[in-house]
Amino acid sequence: MNNIKKVEELFKLKSNLETEAGKVIIGQKEIIDQLFIALLCKGHVMLEGVPGLAKTLLINTLSDAMKLNFSRIQFTPDLMPSDITGTEILEEDSTTGKRVFKFFKGPIFGNIILADEINRTPPKTQASLLEAMQEHKVTVNGKTYILEEPFFVLATQNPIEQEGTYPLPEAQLDRFLFKLTIDYPSATEEVDIVKSTTGESPEAVNPIVNQSQLIEFQELIRNIPVADNVIEYAVNFVRKTRPSEGIMPESIKKLLDWGAGPRASSGLILASKANAVLNQRTTPDIADVQMMIKPVLRHRIIPNFNAESEGITSDDILDLVLQDK
């Protein structure tokens, strides 16, 4: 199958995904599309929003539409790293009487991992995800276990200012390709939500893609060509977020403590490729890069006290960088 046919097939798949997700999720089309883009890029996603905005339901619905192994981890203050990765237990062999350690896999051994309310657990337990997210493997007592592909961590969190939460370390935030923010629904959507949640049970979500198909589409995204000027635009934009580079406008420099690293540049181009393909184009342009800037960068730049005191968010700062010529 040539690339053009694969692009057409992927565009149709996107439409089918929106249809299936629409059986359960009211609105949130942009969020669903961005989640699909991240899966095509082999990227992890952080979903942030106040309680009650169907973050968990959204991820559950996405997993139902994929023929993949699904695990859910409910993050709580008393969760231990071994509760995620698994642990070795001493067992006695009934035939020989010898005692041996046997490894029991934790919920991290799946294709789609829902890390629910990830910021409800302390940093030590959050950090147990780092190796799995970056290298797709788990090391326990010196032994390494390879995770099955595809592997995605889709995490939800409540806003940091909510009580009982622990901010994620910057090193871990950088492992997420996207940070997506979910806002309150419109009045019309909320009416539809109330009707759907207080009436008959929604239709079952049918799987639309299996494991091997998803891996094939991921390879397609990797092989999409990108013009040099598009790559240069993405890299220059990321460099503009770094106060130390000397190319950041003074009006923005006073708002940032730290900018995005090279992983952001790579993520920006990968996401732009997927966005172009899902819109039936075989190569991305600068407009695709601009569409992906906030999901890729909003969690990778760190506003300083000046910005926080003035109520200026990461998204506001990225808008200022976009406006700078």
User: Rounded to whole angstroms, how far apart are CA atoms 48 and 63?
Assistant: 18
Q: H or E element: which one contains 2? A: none
Q: Is residue 295 part of a domain?
A: yes
> Residues 139-165: pLDDT tens digits?
888 888 899 888 999 988 877 666 667
String of DSSP letters for 17-83:
HHHHHTTT--S-HHHHHHHHHHHHTT-EEEEE--TTS-HHHHHHHHHHTEES-EEEEE--TT--THH
Q: What is the pTM of this model?
A: 0.87
Inter-CA distances, 25 with 193, 200, 209, 292, 323, Å: 8, 14, 19, 23, 34
36 and 122 housed in the same domain: yes
* Tokens 């992927």, residue located: 10
> Residues 311-321: pLDDT tens digits?
888 889 899 88
We report the CATH number of the domain holding residue 257 as 1.10.8.80
Q: Is residue 301 part of a domain?
A: yes
Q: Is residue 118 part of a domain?
A: yes
Q: Is residue 237 part of a domain?
A: yes
173 and 245 housed in the same domain: no
pLDDT of residue 263: 92
Q: Number of structural domains, the chain?
A: 2
128 and 252 housed in the same domain: no
248 and 298 housed in the same domain: yes
State which of 135, 167, 188 marks the end of a domain: 188
Residue 150 identity: P
pLDDT of residue 160: 63
Q: Is residue 198 part of a domain?
A: no
176 and 230 housed in the same domain: no
Q: Is residue 88 part of a domain?
A: no
User: Rounded to whole angstroms, how far apart are CA atoms 57 and 78?
Assistant: 24
- The segments of the chain whose pLDDT lies below 50 read 1
Residue 286 domain boundaries: 224-325
Q: Is residue 284 part of a domain?
A: yes
DSSP 8-class letter at 120? G
147 and 266 housed in the same domain: no
264 and 145 housed in the same domain: no
